[in-house]
């Protein structure tokens, strides 16, 4: 079993070390390709028609100068061009939860999304900041990933991936939440003004808004949450709307 690991916190982040330790208990065919620095909120963006620098840091371990999704693209199109593609892509473990609109912004989930374009099952893992990291966390995570792998026929359908949020303490019970609303980037701070040029910073942080049954509420109760996401966006529009649109287009 071949597993590719990436993230958006960078190749040296503690979370990717935890993920690597966990999957190494499952297989010895583990590849790590991750950004050379932090790429928070990079989403699914790609670097196209501009050079990318790959640096070999060890056996089956590379850093990439691009985005998290670039790490998947370079892996599939270069590292595995003439060989076996990964059987599974694991993204994370992200330093901080990915909830609400993070599902669109997150570079961690951008990794998982990109993997589905290559037909590879993918799981994005995130965990609350300042988690109570313990010796047995990697073993628990390995068992959890193994269970997801064994049941992949039930979730790894085309264009779908999993988003898993881990609470502070493991082991943890598991629940499927509703997707909440917890807006980031609610304000912009002016740090410099020079005539018509204004320099702004959008600070980190969120309100941790919560409603019963959403990701934040269940994480606060100590649950690990699991959602299946997809990129299809094929929700049918109402037939009356489409009929009116066709009539207007005549």
The three-class DSSP label of residue 79 is helix
Backbone angles phi, psi at 79, to 5 degrees: -60, -45
How is domain 2-180+210-249 classified at the CATH fold level?
Stationary-phase Survival Protein Sure Homolog; Chain: A, (3.40.1210)
Cα separation, 99 vs 79, whole angstroms: 32
The pLDDT of residue 233: 64
DSSP string, 26-38: T-SEEEEEEESS-
Cβ atoms within 10 A of the Cβ of 8, count?
33
Q: What is the pLDDT of residue 244?
A: 87
Please tell me the pTM assigned to this model: 0.90
According to the model, what pLDDT value does residue 204 have?
Answer: 80
Count Cβ neighbours within 10 Å for each residue of 185-203 and write b for 16 or more, e otherwise: eeeeeeeeeeeeeeeeeee
Q: Can you give the pLDDT at residue 249?
A: 85
Residue among 47, 59, 55 nearest 11 (CA): 55
Residues making up the chain, counted from first to last? 250
pLDDT at 245: 78
What are the sequence ranges of the domains in the chain? 2-180+210-249
Confidence at residue 83, expressed as pLDDT on a 0 to 100 scale: 84
Rounded CA-CA distance 121/152 in Å is 8
Residue-wise pLDDT tens for the chain (250 aa)? 999 999 999 999 999 999 999 999 999 999 999 999 999 888 889 999 999 999 999 999 999 999 999 999 999 999 999 989 999 999 999 999 999 988 989 999 999 999 999 999 999 999 999 999 999 999 999 999 999 999 999 999 889 999 999 999 999 999 999 998 877 777 889 999 999 999 999 888 777 788 999 999 999 999 999 999 998 766 677 889 888 878 988 7
Query: Is residue 33 within 8 Å of residue 64, measured between CB atoms?
Result: yes
């Amino acid at each position: 079993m071949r597993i590719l690991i990436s993230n958006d916190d960078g190749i040296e982040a503690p979370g990717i070390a935890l993920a690597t330790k966990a999957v190494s208990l499952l297989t010895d065919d583990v590849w790590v390709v991750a950004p050379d620095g932090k790429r928070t909120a990079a989403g699914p963006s790609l670097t196209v028609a501009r050079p990318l620098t790959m640096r070999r840091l060890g056996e089956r371990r590379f850093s990439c100068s691009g985005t998290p999704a670039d790490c998947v693209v370079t892996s599939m199109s270069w590292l595995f061009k003439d060989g076996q593609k990964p059987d599974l892509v694991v993204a994370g473990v992200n330093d901080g939860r990915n909830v609400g609109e993070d599902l669109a912004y997150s570079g961690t989930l951008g990794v998982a999304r990109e993997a589905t374009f290559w037909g590879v099952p993918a799981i994005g893992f995130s965990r609350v900041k300042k988690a109570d990291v313990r010796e047995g966390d990697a073993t628990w995570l390995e068992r959890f990933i193994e269970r997801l792998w064994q049941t992949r026929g039930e979730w790894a359908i085309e264009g779908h991936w999993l988003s898993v949020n881990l609470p502070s303490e493991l082991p943890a019970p598991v629940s499927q939440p509703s997707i909440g609303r917890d807006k980031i980037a609610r304000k912009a701070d002016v740090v410099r003004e020079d005539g018509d040029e204004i320099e702004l910073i959008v600070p980190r942080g969120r309100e941790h808004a919560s409603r019963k049954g959403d990701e934040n509420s269940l994480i606060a109760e100590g649950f690990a949450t699991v959602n299946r996401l997809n990129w299809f966006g094929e929700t049918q529009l109402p037939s009356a709307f489409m009929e009116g649109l066709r009539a207007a287009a005549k």
